[in-house]
């Protein structure tokens, strides 16, 4: 089903395959292309490093030539705070083709209050199963919304996963700014009822594997199950059935003469 997998990990963060192995798998499965989107710089344990970007780009070019698929260099950046800070800075734009953003744990947060909320409070309500406060939901939603407004993000990854937010508010802003909402096939991150409301916002989607191992590149099984339960407008899922998604970040770079 997936034609262009915008979310795959490699050994440059904590994936198992190399860039070339992911590309070979994409070619084997008949994909048009993939993005290599390892975890962002602000993850102290397994985030990718700025000093490796040139080498990663070279590997992408070689893998693309060898296997005849597009191999874009991207990043799965982290939401770092309420003001919309992510761990990609304008100085990084030249070296990247794709920017994803999502919530992950144990990163460098912008301020201490971001650490206590984005990490501490989300974990607390996840672990205890208690109902999260309205204040926490509003805070998390603001992290997403401001990140979309202040950065040319192509895709919001696994919205709502480990993070209590209002996905409808996030999707509305994503629709306004040309950012896709991801249907992640590694994990379920919204309920069917939430998906139905997100669809009503008019936002566009992509289906991504979030592959951390080579064999999962291009995997759409979880999305296919979801589509049996929730009626998605297939023409608004921009990277399946032969479609290649237009990317907000690429348009931004072109407009600003970057790269
Ligand atoms: Zn992620
Ligand atoms: Zn990921």
Number of compact structural domains in the chain: 1
Predicted local confidence at residue 233, as pLDDT: 97
CA of 101 to the centre of ligand 2 (A): 9
CA of 158 to the centre of ligand 1 (A): 7
CA of 101 to the centre of ligand 1 (A): 8
Tokens linked to 185: 């096939």
Domain range holding 148?
Answer: 74-255
Task: Give the number of whichever ligand sits closest to the CA of residue 163.
Answer: 1
User: For residue 237, what are the CA distances in angstroms to 17, 88, 184?
Assistant: 27, 26, 12
CA of 145 to the centre of ligand 1 (A): 17
Domain contains 3: no
User: For the residues of 13-52, what is the DSSP string, one character each?
Assistant: TT-SS-HHHHHHHHHHTT-SEEEEEEEPTT-TTT---GGG
Predicted local confidence at residue 118, as pLDDT: 86
Domain contains 120: yes
Domain contains 137: yes
Residues within 5 Å of ion ligand 1 by Cβ? 102, 157
Tell me the whole-structure pTM to 2 decimals: 0.96
CA of 65 to the centre of ligand 2 (A): 25
Q: What is the pLDDT along the chain (259 residues), one digit of tens a residue?
A: 999 999 999 999 989 999 999 999 999 999 999 999 999 999 888 899 999 999 999 999 999 999 999 999 999 999 999 999 999 999 999 999 999 999 998 888 888 889 889 888 898 888 999 999 999 999 999 999 999 999 999 999 999 998 999 999 999 999 999 999 999 999 999 999 999 999 999 999 999 999 999 999 999 999 999 999 999 999 999 999 999 999 999 999 999 999 8
With CA atoms as reference, report the closest residue to 210 among 202, 199, 200, 218. 218
Alpha carbon distance 42, 79 (integer Å) = 10
CA of 135 to the centre of ligand 1 (A): 24
Domain contains 189: yes
Domain contains 6: no
Domain contains 230: yes
State the CB neighbour count (10 A cutoff) for residue 14. Answer: 14
Alpha carbon distance 212, 207 (integer Å) = 15
We report the CATH number of the domain holding residue 135 as: 3.20.20.140
State the CB neighbour count (10 A cutoff) for residue 2. Answer: 27
Domain contains 236: yes
CA of 11 to the centre of ligand 1 (A): 15
Predicted local confidence at residue 235, as pLDDT: 97
Helix (H, G, I), strand (E, B) or coil at 180: strand
CA of 103 to the centre of ligand 1 (A): 7
């Amino acid at each position: 089903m997936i034609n262009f997998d915008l979310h795959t990990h490699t050994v440059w963060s904590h994936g198992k395959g190399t860039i070339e192995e992911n590309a070979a798998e994409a070619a084997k499965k008949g994909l048009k292309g993939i993005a290599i989107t390892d975890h962002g710089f602000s993850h102290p344990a397994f985030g990718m490093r700025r000093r490796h970007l040139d080498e990663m780009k070279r590997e992408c070019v070689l893998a693309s030539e060898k296997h005849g698929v597009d191999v874009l260099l991207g990043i799965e950046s982290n939401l770092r705070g309420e003001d919309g800070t992510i761990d990609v800075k304008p100085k990084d734009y030249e070296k990247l083709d794709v920017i994803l953003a999502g919530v992950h744990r144990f990163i460098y947060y912008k301020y201490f209050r971001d650490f206590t909320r984005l990490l501490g409070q989300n974990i607390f309500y996840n672990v205890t199963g208690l109902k999260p406060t309205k204040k926490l939901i509003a805070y998390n939603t603001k992290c997403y919304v401001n990140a979309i407004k202040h950065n040319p993000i192509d895709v919001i990854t696994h919205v709502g996963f480990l993070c209590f937010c209002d996905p409808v508010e996030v999707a509305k802003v994503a629709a306004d700014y040309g950012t896709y909402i991801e249907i992640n096939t590694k994990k379920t991150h919204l309920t069917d009822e939430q998906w139905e409301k997100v669809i009503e916002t008019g936002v566009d989607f992509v289906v991504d594997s979030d592959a951390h191992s080579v064999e999962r590149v291009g995997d759409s099984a979880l999305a296919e199950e979801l589509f049996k339960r929730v009626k998605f407008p297939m023409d608004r899922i921009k990277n399946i059935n032969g479609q290649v998604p237009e990317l907000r970040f690429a348009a931004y770079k072109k407009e600003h003469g970057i790269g």
